Structures are given as structure tokens and as C-alpha cells.
Chains A and B, each alone.
Chain A
Amino acid sequence: MWGIIRQKVAAGGGSPVARIRPVVSNLRNYSSAVKQMMVREALNSALDEEMSADPKVFLMGEEVGEYQGAYKISKGLLEKYGPERVLDTPITEAGFTGIGVGAAYYGLKPVVEFMTFNFSMQAIDHIINSAAKSNYMSSGQISVPIVFRGPNGAAAGVGAQHSHCYAAWYASVPGLKVLSPYSSEDARGLLKAAIRDPDPVVFLENELLYGESFPVSAEVLDSSFCLPIGKAKIEREGKDVTITAFSKIVGLSLKAAEILAKEGISAEVINLRSIRPLDRSTINASVRKTNRLVTVEEGFPQHGVGAEICASVIEESFGYLDAPVERIAGADVPMPYAANLERMAVPQVLCFLYDSSIDGCYKFLVY
């Protein structure tokens, strides 16, 4: 069912795709999307191309080499680049993250993979204190061109300690850039931009998206394809309500938008892509057009990404709002294990409710 909806959305969302992407090669025509690419392949190809372009880029993490990657993202890289550039590390997050940061201080460009971002908590001291703050503390002398990547957020049935979403945690730190791709195009473009960026980037992927296929154009497959950091993408244009989302939730939002369209409500879905820096101008422009905002995320509600977006919109576009802003987030509990409870703890699109008693306030029922 997912696959069918996705294709419908992709065909319908063909034109917005062309509008927002910066023209990298101005002579290339945007050919209609034909090739399907899995997010996993997109990440693999991005890593492959960046590693072959710049010998200073290397990958380190648990099981990235001989195991071909815990989620097979780094498949084939060990054979191609050898054990000196694709390093299997012992289970020492704090240690190897620090080693990555030290290598970045000294001129290399590490890509540090966390098996999931939950494990990054063992290394969070290095991500924040040694990487994010160093450029500031050394007053520009030492920059840290490092990328921390890995799956973030809930997977299926993995329990409380493996399902935490860290977008809000890392996005609150000045000195870090936080990116979260949704489709294969996002994954490729943003990972390439992240690896080339001279600053520490936290790259939040999603395990359940790895196996999803998305249509990609020839432009995306080009090895110099890159997406701007700090720009959101309007996945679906609309005029009645703005829905902001990132990562897997973009898929749910597009599905919801389809359902809403049948009811005559045209929803604009924004794929944030970049959590820090947040593309406040796109979000505000959209809200000024539609006058209503719903932010959706998978993480915990208090102090989440949605909270920041809502505050930003209220600060900047208060006069344009026709209804209170609405936040939809995961349930405020550690993720339960039972399948039915887990379904209840994460936003789902099973039905929505148009609440006519509150004039024009569109509500999603989260099941």
C-alpha cells in the first residue's frame, strides 16, 4: 500500500521537484523521473563518489567494513578503498568519535557512522564539546569537517533504547549542522553536501527508509549533484494548511495530504531537510500563504523540532495565522515494545478529523 501511494504522490509532485532544486548544470534538461533508487543505494553511491573524489575522506564505524555496513550502507566500500579508508572500529563510541574529531582537527574528513544515533549518546561529549564548539573556542583556527551519520528515530519493534529521535537534541547546539533526508534525492544531495562542508554535520537517516525506493532524475545521479544546506523543499503545493515534517514523516504527511485532498482540503507539505539551520523563510512564507500550520514529527513533544517551528512562526507570522498552530509528535513515553502500543506511540495516518466546531481548524487524529 505504501508503494502505490508513493508513486501516485511522486507523479503528482513532479513539478515542485524541479522548482526548488538549484540548477547545478544549466544545460541539463530535467528529464522525467524514470530510474528508481533505494535510499540505501543513494547513500552508498554518495559515499563512494565522495571517497573517490577526495582521498582525505574516510569512513569509520562499527561493522562498516567486512560486514558491509550494519544496514549495508557501506556495501562494497571496503573492497574498493581498502582497510585504511574504511575502518572497522571496536565498540568504543566515545573513543572512535574522538579519534574522528582529532583527525578532522588535523585536516582529514572523517565520516563517522553510528550504528544508530542512540549510541551517539556515548559519544555526545565529542560531538558537542570537541566538534561543535571548537571552531568558536579556537576563534576560527581549527575547523572540524566531520560528518556523523546513522539511523535515527524509531524502527520496528526495537524498544525504548533504540528508538529515540535526536533531531531536537543536536539541533539546539550552535556550531552543528543537522540534516535529515527523506527521499533518495535528499539522501544523495545532502550527504554529498555534508561531506564537503567544512563544519561538523549530524546526518540523521531513518532505518525504515533505507529500503524505500524513490524516483530519481539523471541530474540526481550525476556525481556533482549537491543540495543546499538550510533550504527546505516544498514536496506538495497547497493553499489551505502547511504541514512541516522531516525524514520518514514526510511520507506520512504526503499520504495524509492525499486523503485531505479528497475532502477538498489542499495541504502544502514541506520537507524540512535541514533541521539546523532551519529554513524559517520557507516555512513562514508558506504559512503566510495558507494561514494554518501543523508540525509533525516522530520524536518526543516537549522541546521538539515542532516546538521550535511553532515558536518561530508565531514570532514572525502571527498576524497571518487563522487558527492556533498544531504540533503532532510521538507519544510522551519511552517507546514501548508491543506492536500495537508502538503503533500508538508514533504518528500514523489512519484517519483525520475535520473539526467543524472550531471554525477551520484542521486536526489530525493520531492513532
Chain B
Amino acid sequence: MILGRSFEDMCAQMYYRGKMFGFVHLYNGQEAVSTGFIKLLKKEDSVVSTYRDHVHALSKGVPARAVMSELFGKATGCCRGQGGSMHMFSKEHNLLGGFAFIGEGIPVATGAAFTSKYRREVLKEADCDHVTLAFFGDGTCNNGQFFECLNMAALWKLPIVFVVENNLWAIGMSHLRATSDPQIYKKGPAFGMPGFHVDGMDVLKVREVAKEAIERARRGEGPTLVECETYRFRGHSLADPDELRDPAEKARYAARDPITALKKYLIESSLASEAELKAIEKKIDEVVEDAVEFADESAPPPRSQLLENVFADPKGFGIGPDGRYRCEDPKFTEGTAHV
């Protein structure tokens, strides 16, 4: 959580210094949700996120250096600078992206969950119990794709957990102004899956609920909808003047800062001392500083990278690496069944 917070603060600094550009959406205040859920996952489980994905990437294990370079648009970034702030992909860590469109990631996450089930049942990989987490916000819960996926996930009992990061605001549109029934967790049972509401500012509570939901999915009992009530301390993006939110509301939630709350809890229950926590913060500062230095020093992508990777085919057109059409290579059709 500390890594997430310092990283995002550093992003803001870098943006205002002109090193980062375009759309940058920061996650300050919502760290408890990301940490609470993602830290319970295995490496093979996947996470699908939205454009507010820096901290999801960090929690899933993508190195801070790679994320920072990606934001700077350098060739050493996790997507070699081709994705950017909103499109963090990492095959190694099974982070299936950052999607810019609201609700676009939910069907993709449902598809990844479908693959786990397919692998287990059709391809007979008996130990495949990968779970998928789909993160999205309150605004998405009014989108058609959200309901389409709740339906199909419950229908086919897919191993997925739908995590709603309800921070009450969709840019400047208050959740209460946009939704007929603002209690999102109630929409789960309408489709036949359990719906939970949890205080998203308390990482331990989030972790408890997350554990249950993920275990449920792993056992094959189907999807769960978890609504985390949280808040973003900064604006929607770094370009958002954030004028519509009431300062009193902001102050109220600032008092429930997940990091301060956890610190207090740790110190009061003597699980850690002040000095240890300070040391952690210092270490994180070093990691973030190092990430910035690394990103600064990295080279921007070479010109030849512009046309690369449009297709998975190395030359597109069904042409294999040896320059001939793939279908002319007898090995290409090896193993085709006669029906």
C-alpha cells in the first residue's frame, strides 16, 4: 500500500514536470482494495483492470521500474512504451490489462475465467483452478456489459470475482445521481450470485471478504460480487480540477486513510514498531526514486518499433519466419484430424 501511494504521488510530480503525458489516473486512497485482493492471488491467477491500473500492476508483481518506464514511454517499460498509463499488460504476471473503455475489461475477465474452467473440464488439466479478478468502478455498474457478464458468469459458474471499487464519483458524476438503486452489491443476487459490501478503506476487512470470494471461485462454486466502499483522494485524472466534490466529504474520507489506519492498528497491537514502519517507508521511497532514475535513463523506443507487433505473425499475412507462406509448410498442418 505504501508502494502504491508513493508511486502515485511520484507520478503526479513527474506529470507536472512534463515527463509523463496523456491521461494519468491515480489511485490514492483506494490502495486497500488492490492490496486486500491481489495479494491473495497466485501468480497464475489473472487480474483485469481499468485505466486506473498502476497500483493493480504493482500489487500483481510488475516491478516498479517497468511500470514507471512504461509511464514515461520508454522502451524498458512493461509494454515497451506502446501501451501507456491506461494499458498495462504483463503476460508473466497475468495482468491482462488496463482497458480504457468503461466496462470493456469485464467481459475479457469473464473470458479468462472461462478459460480456466475450459482448461479444467475440456482440456483435462485437473489442477487448473485459476481465478480471475475484475476491477471496475461504480460508473461501470450502470453499463450493459456489466450486467451481461454477471448473467453469463453466474450461468456458467465461472471462477471470477467482480470487485467494484465504489468511490462514489465517476469523473464529476456522483454515483447517487447516476444510479436508480445505488446499492451495487444487491445486484449480485438478482443474477444468482452472492453480493457483499465491505469497507474499502480497511485493508483487513477487505482481505477477509476477498479470501472468502476467491476460495469460493477456486472451489468451482461460481462468481461473487464484492462492493468496496472507497474513495479517491485525488481527482479522476491529473487533468481533473476536481471542483464538484465537497471538501467536507473529502476530509471525512481522508480521516479514514487506509495507510494511516493500518499503521495505527499495527502499532496498537504491537505487531510492528514505529521504527520498523519508518524503515519500510524509507525503503519504498528508495524503490520509487530508483524507478524514476531508471525510467529517466532508459532510452525511448527505437523508430523501428513503430511497425512492430501489429500482428503476432512475425510478418503478418500468414507468412512464417522463413519467409514462405505458412500453409505451404507441411509441418503447419501436422496433426490435423481426418473427420
Complex CA distance for A231 and B240, rounded to whole angstroms = 49
Q: Which residues of the partner chain A approach B112 to less than 8 Å between Cβ atoms?
A: 102-103, 105-106
- Residue of B with least CB distance to A226: B327
Using an 8 Å CB-CB cutoff, how does the interface string of B298-313 with A read, 1 for contact, 0 for none?
A: 0000000000111111
A85 and B122: CB pair below 8 A?
A: yes
Selected contact of B115 from candidates A84, A102, A136, CB within 8 Å: A102
- Residue of A with least CB distance to B82: A139
B337 and A23: CB pair below 8 A?
A: no
Complex CA distance for A94 and B335, rounded to whole angstroms = 34
Give the contacts of A68-110 with B (CB-CB under 8 A): 84-85, 89-90, 92, 94-108
- Residue of B with least CB distance to A108: B115
B197 contacts A by Cβ under 8 Å: no
Selected contact of B111 from candidates A100, A136, A189, CB within 8 Å: A100
Q: Which residues of the partner chain A approach B119 to less than 8 Å between Cβ atoms?
A: 107
A138 and B327: CB pair below 8 A?
A: no
Q: How far is the CB of A18 from chain B (nearest CB, A)?
A: 15
A212 contacts B by Cβ under 8 Å: no
A98 and B155: CB pair below 8 A?
A: no
- Residue of A with least CB distance to B90: A141
A92 and B152: CB pair below 8 A?
A: yes
Q: With a 10 A CB-CB cut-off, give which of B92, B148, B330, B332 has the most chain A CB atoms.
A: B148
B46 contacts A by Cβ under 8 Å: yes
- Residue of B with least CB distance to A197: B318
B152 and A96: CB pair below 8 A?
A: yes
Complex CA distance for A169 and B81, rounded to whole angstroms = 28
B109 contacts A by Cβ under 8 Å: yes
Contact stretch, chosen from B99-107, B161-169, B263-271 = B99-107
Q: Which residues of the partner chain B approach A226 to less than 8 Å between Cβ atoms?
A: 326-327, 332-333
- Residue of A with least CB distance to B94: A106
Q: How far is the CB of A185 from chain B (nearest CB, A)?
A: 13
Complex CA distance for A140 and B312, rounded to whole angstroms = 7
Known contacts: A99-B107, A175-B310, A227-B327. The answer to whether A106 contacts B333 by CB under 8 A is no
Known contacts: A104-B111, A108-B115, A175-B310. The answer to whether A98 contacts B336 by CB under 8 A is no
B99 and A142: CB pair below 8 A?
A: no
Selected contact of B80 from candidates A23, A99, A108, A139, CB within 8 Å: A139
Known contacts: A102-B110, A223-B338. The answer to whether A138 contacts B118 by CB under 8 A is no
Selected contact of B312 from candidates A23, A53, A135, CB within 8 Å: A135
- Residue of B with least CB distance to A91: B148
Q: How far is the CB of A298 from chain B (nearest CB, A)?
A: 25
Q: Which residues of the partner chain B approach A137 to less than 8 Å between Cβ atoms?
A: 79, 82-84, 87, 89, 97
A89 and B309: CB pair below 8 A?
A: no
A277 and B310: CB pair below 8 A?
A: no
Q: Which residues of the partner chain B approach A286 to less than 8 Å between Cβ atoms?
A: none
Complex CA distance for A277 and B115, rounded to whole angstroms = 30
Q: Which residues of the partner chain B approach A55 to less than 8 Å between Cβ atoms?
A: 122-123
Q: Which residues of the partner chain B approach A231 to less than 8 Å between Cβ atoms?
A: 325
Q: How far is the CB of B270 from chain A (nearest CB, A)?
A: 44
Complex CA distance for A226 and B320, rounded to whole angstroms = 14
- Residue of B with least CB distance to A48: B339
A136 and B152: CB pair below 8 A?
A: no
Selected contact of A52 from candidates B123, B326, B337, CB within 8 Å: B337
Known contacts: A24-B328, A101-B111, A135-B312. The answer to whether A142 contacts B96 by CB under 8 A is yes
Q: Which residues of the partner chain A approach B311 to less than 8 Å between Cβ atoms?
A: 135, 175, 177, 198-199
Q: Which residues of the partner chain A approach B123 to less than 8 Å between Cβ atoms?
A: 55-56
Complex CA distance for A98 and B311, rounded to whole angstroms = 19
- Residue of A with least CB distance to B151: A90
Complex CA distance for A99 and B109, rounded to whole angstroms = 7
Interface residues on B, range: 35 or more
B110 and A106: CB pair below 8 A?
A: no
Q: How far is the CB of B66 from chain A (nearest CB, A)?
A: 11
B22 contacts A by Cβ under 8 Å: no
A84 and B122: CB pair below 8 A?
A: yes
Selected contact of B149 from candidates A23, A98, A130, CB within 8 Å: A98
Q: How far is the CB of B172 from chain A (nearest CB, A)?
A: 23
Complex CA distance for A79 and B327, rounded to whole angstroms = 30
Q: Which residues of the partner chain B approach A130 to less than 8 Å between Cβ atoms?
A: 99, 104, 108
A95 and B110: CB pair below 8 A?
A: yes
Complex CA distance for A63 and B39, rounded to whole angstroms = 41
A45 and B107: CB pair below 8 A?
A: no
Selected contact of B104 from candidates A129, A174, A177, A223, CB within 8 Å: A129
Selected contact of B118 from candidates A84, A96, A277, CB within 8 Å: A84
Complex CA distance for A177 and B116, rounded to whole angstroms = 27
Q: Which residues of the partner chain A approach B335 to less than 8 Å between Cβ atoms?
A: 53
Q: Which residues of the partner chain A approach B118 to less than 8 Å between Cβ atoms?
A: 58, 84, 103, 108
Using an 8 Å CB-CB cutoff, how does the interface string of A48-61 with B read, 1 for contact, 0 for none?
A: 11101101101000
Q: Which residues of the partner chain A approach B330 to less than 8 Å between Cβ atoms?
A: 24-25
Complex CA distance for A49 and B152, rounded to whole angstroms = 28
Q: Which residues of the partner chain B approach A53 to less than 8 Å between Cβ atoms?
A: 335-337
Selected contact of A101 from candidates B107, B122, B149, B155, CB within 8 Å: B107
B144 contacts A by Cβ under 8 Å: yes
Q: How far is the CB of B76 from chain A (nearest CB, A)?
A: 11
Give the contacts of A121-157 with B (CB-CB under 8 A): 125-126, 129-130, 134-145
Q: How far is the CB of A67 from chain B (nearest CB, A)?
A: 18
Q: With a 10 A CB-CB cut-off, give which of A23, A126, A130, A141 has the most chain B CB atoms.
A: A141
B283 contacts A by Cβ under 8 Å: no
A-B contact pairs, 22 of them (CB 8 A): A49-B339, A52-B339, A92-B151, A92-B152, A95-B151, A102-B107, A102-B114, A105-B108, A125-B104, A138-B83, A139-B79, A139-B309, A140-B312, A174-B310, A189-B327, A196-B326, A197-B318, A223-B338, A223-B339, A224-B336, A230-B316, A230-B317
Other CB < 8 Å A-B pairs besides A96-B107, A138-B87, A230-B317, 5 of them? A99-B152, A106-B96, A129-B101, A135-B312, A139-B89
